[in-house]
Structure 1
Amino acid sequence: MNKLYNFFNTEQNNLFWLKFFRISISIFIIIHFIAVLPDFNNLYSVNDGVLSYNVVDVYIPQYIINLPKIILYLNSFGIDSAITILGFKIIFVLLAFILMSGYYQNLAALLLLLMQIILSKSNIYFSYGADFFTSMSLFYLTLIPSNINSVGVSPLKKLFQVHVCIAYFFAGFDKLLGINWWNGESIWKAINLPFATSTYDITFLGNYPILLTSIGLGSALLELLYPFFVWNKKTSNFWIYSIILMHIGIAFILNLYFFSAIMIIWNLTFKFSLNNEKSYSLASA
């Protein structure tokens, strides 16, 4: 028990990792939101959407609050849907900038988290991994104190680190359960998805099945062994940068730019959080 207590409770000498995480996630959220803006009304409005709200809302329980429900509720008070949507956009972006500044970090993160969940529950067909990790990021920023002397900093930092390790371990473990990652089939399918490789044609890899198998097994093992090598000073940088390269590959091959970006942020935050020196900064990272 003492070892477990000491693991989660250590003296904190810098909060560089938290500042990096807060600013990076804020910038990510703003850019991601701006990317959605041209199609915002089509995705989240009540009457102007590509899909009818009644279709989108089929799998959403009544107790879940989302943007269309807010629009309908405010409509009953005579507030036009266009005003509601515009107000939502302004408040969302404003909260992201407030979070970036660090002003009332926990409160800003909490309010932004609530709005982000409302948005992600407004069209479940459009939500994917990037949205889930955005929610988790804001959850941590809601809980982690911005004061280095707070007793909550150390255990919550360790919780984040353990969370990253668990996520990668089970991602790799799940891949190795089936045969598709052992024979390269999953990689072959991935690079032939309709939305993938629109920029780069790499279907020639089909002529080299051993390469597809190596990429598949290599990715699975990198993830599975993440928690075993990332804590060691000698192997930590290699493992983290290898995972980052993997996500860069995913970004350019599968066009999953936002998902890859937030996973890179998580890995860099993990890397920075391992260093507890008082003078630690980006220059010494």
Structure 2
Amino acid sequence: MTLYKNMIRMEEKNNYSFYLAVFRIFICLHLVKNIIFQWPYLDILYGPQSFIHPTPTVLTELLGIKSFFIRAHYQAFITLYLIIIVGYLFGVGKHFTALILFLFYETIQRLCNIVLNGGDNFMRFIMLYMVFADSYQYFSIRAISIKNETMKRLSNLASNLAVRAVTIHFCIVYFWSAFHKIHADVWFNGVATYYIMSLARFKGTPWNDWLVKNGYMVTMTTYFTLLIEMYFPVLVWFRKTRLPVIICGIALHIGIYIFMMIYGFEIIFIFTYGFFFTDKEWLGMLNKVISRINSIARWKIPTLVPEPGTEIRLT
């Protein structure tokens, strides 16, 4: 009965329309950034001269296009990929564009899988979930207007379930990572940070050498990482513990970003935290920030007020 009530409640409105739109923009900027950084090496990574053997993808299997054909015309493929990203950024084509972008992104990954990290793999799943979500109510050329009540309820249900899939998947990633760390001696004994930050690859700051020589810092950072990954999947579902555990998680990923020079992975995970808050909660937090800025700087930034339904408008 509880499950049935939750399903009915999810049909009533899209509880995450605002952040879905924000994350849609983040996806597009993230993908464009990746192409810009890879631009001087596109021929080596995706062209016919690449030394990487591609694996079959959904796109190549569906259309019967061979991977070597895409490599031979990689300039056209990347150009079309960028056009689709721009279309998705502005909400052109809605769900259809989201699906095509997912297929292109998966193909890009399969063409050159050696440059991928855990964040890229997780992003692929998020983009698949986003295909079913209505992320076009904000920051798009034209918001989706569904007049049929049944279709509207199905759209709301699909959007809420897509967000729930993202959050559950996120918790599974943390739990599975913690599970494997616990069974590793260096993590169990509290010295993993020492070995990780001693590697030249992860020396992101001049303070890294000092940190690895400080036994207290090594022990605290090792067990802090373990505790976050173990207890986040539980504590994040309770209102009183959600914000503290998310703040700790953000601190963890910022620390990795700064001290270990792992960038895209950490940014993806930090942005994913936003899905644990509904539009109502985002609205409240943003209004507090706006009010604070107005009181300090004596500005008149308009606050966000909800109208009937899920819309958020500026006063």
TM-score where L is the length of structure 2: 0.75
Paired letter, 1:85:
Y
Alignment of 1:206-285 (within 5 A): 206-270=212-276, 272-273=277-278, 275-276=279-280, 282-283=286-287
In 2, distance between residues paired with 1:139 and 1:62?
14
Decide whether the 8 Å contact of 1:105 with 1:141 is kept in 2: no
Q: Counterparts of 2:197 and 2:259 in 1: how far apart (Å)?
A: 7
Which moves more between the two structures, 33-42 or 5-14?
5-14
Corresponding residue number in structure 1 for 2:185? 179
Determine whether 1:36 maps to 2:38: yes
Secondary structure of the residue aligned to 1:60 is: coil
Gaps of 5+ in 2: 136-143, 145-151, 290-315
Pair 1:125-2:124 in alignment: no
TM-score normalised by structure 1 residue count: 0.82
Contact 1:200 1:253 in 2 (8 A): no
Partners of 1:213 and 1:281 in 2: how far apart? 34
Tell me the percent identity.
24
CA contact (8 A) 2:60 2:67 kept: no
**Which among 10, 24, 27 is matched to residue 26 of structure 2?**
24
Residue identity opposite 2:217 in structure 1: L
Following the alignment from structure 2 to structure 1, what is the Cα–Cα distance between the partners of residues 20 and 41? Answer: 32
The AA in structure 2 aligned to 1:229 is: L
Question: 1:216 deviation in Å?
Answer: 0.9
How has the CA–CA distance of structure 1 residues 3 and 71 changed in structure 2, closer, same or farther, with 3 Å as cutoff? closer
Relative to 1, partners in 2 of residues 1:184 and 1:21: Cα closer, same or farther, differing over 3 Å?
same
CA distance in 1, matches of 2:70, 2:93: 28
CA contact (8 A) 2:193 2:221 kept: yes
2:2 equivalent to 1:3 = yes
Alpha-carbon shift at residue 29 of structure 1 (Å): 1.4
The alignment of Structure 1 onto Structure 2 pairs a total of residues equal to 266
Change (3 A) 1:211 1:30: same
Other-structure match for 1:12? 13
1:105 aligns with 94
In the other structure, the counterpart of 2:55 is 60
Q: 1:86: Cα distance to partner?
A: 1.8
Contact 2:99 2:131 in 1 (8 A): yes
- Counterpart of 2:76, as a letter, is G
Question: In the aligned structure 2, how far is the partner of 1:6 from the partner of 1:196?
Answer: 48
Aligned to 1:78: none
Q: Is the 8 A contact 1:13 1:276 kept in 2?
A: no
What is the CA–CA distance in structure 1 between the aligned matches of 2:4 and 2:242, rounded to whole Å? Answer: 23
Root-mean-square deviation (CA, aligned residues, Å) is 2.8
Are 1:13 and 1:277, in contact at CA under 8 Å, matched by a contact in 2?
Answer: no
Aligned partners of 2:197 and 2:260 also within 8 Å = yes
Structure 1 residues 208 and 280: alpha-carbon distance in aligned structure 2, compared to 1, 3 A threshold: closer
Report Cα offsets for 1:206-244 as digits up to 9, x if no partner: 322232121111111111111221122222111112111
CA contact (8 A) 1:144 1:153 kept: yes
Alignment of 1:140-151 (within 5 A): 140-146=129-135, 149=153, 150=155, 151=157
Structure 1 residues 148-185: Cα deviation after superposition (integer angstroms, max 9, x where no partner): 74232222222222222222222222212222113333
Segment drifting more, 222-231 vs 201-210: 201-210
Q: Determine which structure has the larger helix proportion and give its number.
A: 2
Q: Structure with the greater relative contact order (CA < 8 A, sep ≥ 6): 1 or 2? A: 1
